[in-house]
Amino acid sequence: MKSLAAAIRNGSFKVYPTPEQPIPWPILAAAGTLAAAAVLMIAGGRATGVGLADTPVVATVAHRDLRLAEGMPGGVVAVIDAQSKQELLSLAPGEGGFAVEALRNLERDRIRKGTSGEAPFVLALKADGRLVVEDPETSQQVELRAFGEKQARAFAALMPKPVLEVGGNAK
């Protein structure tokens, strides 16, 4: 190891190509072929849709509009129903709440994209059973099952309770 360090210091060992020792053409050809293949595969995927992840469009069964209320006395952060203004979840400073952090991330995305931030976030239960948080301003959709059952339950608790009719069917 000492001899390698000495060779680097005195300049007899070079780690870059020189006019006397250029990069061998088979290595350059292989790198070029790899780059061209990657570009062709990406173009083919975009043209055909193969290999692209896309969230299916599914009807919404139930939803609740949510807002994040920060700056409350004592540093409390709350998730409120955007229509009724009912407080659904309240966290003191230092308490980690997945629901609050997920909504904060969506708010940061709004700021980064320069949207107004006026529309509430939508917590939606889809017909296929997925629970998602949607941002109508940025068209971003967060599938909560990706974060695990515990995190999905944190949001499921924010969903409105079904209202039962006299016949016993959920509305």
pTM: 0.61
Question: Is pLDDT of 116 > 50?
Answer: yes
Grade residue 143 by pLDDT with cuts at 50, 70 and 90: confident
Neighbour-count burial of 124, counting CB atoms closer than 10 A to its CB (0-12 exposed, 13-18 middle, 19+ buried)? buried
- Mean residue pLDDT of the chain comes to 82
CB count in 10 Å sphere of residue 160:
15
What is the Cβ-side half-sphere exposure of residue 162, based on CA atoms within 13 angstroms? 10
Predicted confidence (pLDDT) per residue in 83-115, tens digit:
888 888 888 777 767 888 888 888 888 889 888
Tell me if 151 sits within 8 A of 143, measured CB to CB: no
Summarize the confidence of residues 122-131 as an average pLDDT.
Answer: 88
Q: Which of 28-37, 133-142, 155-164 has the highest mean pLDDT?
A: 28-37
Question: Is pLDDT of 78 > 90?
Answer: no
Q: Out of 12-16, 36-40, 102-106, 108-112, which region has the weakest mean confidence (pLDDT)?
A: 12-16
Summarize the confidence of residues 58-74 as an average pLDDT.
Answer: 83
Summarize the confidence of residues 118-135 as an average pLDDT.
Answer: 88
Q: Out of 55-59, 96-100, 142-146, 166-170, which region has the weakest mean confidence (pLDDT)?
A: 166-170
Hey, what's the torsion of the CAs at 47, 49, 50, 56, to 10 degrees? 180
Residue reference for tokens 């939803």: 63
Task: Write down the pLDDT at residue 168.
Answer: 38
Question: Is pLDDT of 36 > 90?
Answer: yes
Task: Write down the pLDDT at residue 162.
Answer: 63
Alpha-carbon dihedral sign for residues 34, 38, 44, 49: positive
Residue reference for tokens 């292989």: 30
Question: Is pLDDT of 170 > 70?
Answer: no
Reduced to 3 states, what is the DSSP secondary structure of residue 35? helix
Which residues lie across from 78 on neighbouring strands? 69, 90
Task: Write down the pLDDT at residue 104.
Answer: 84
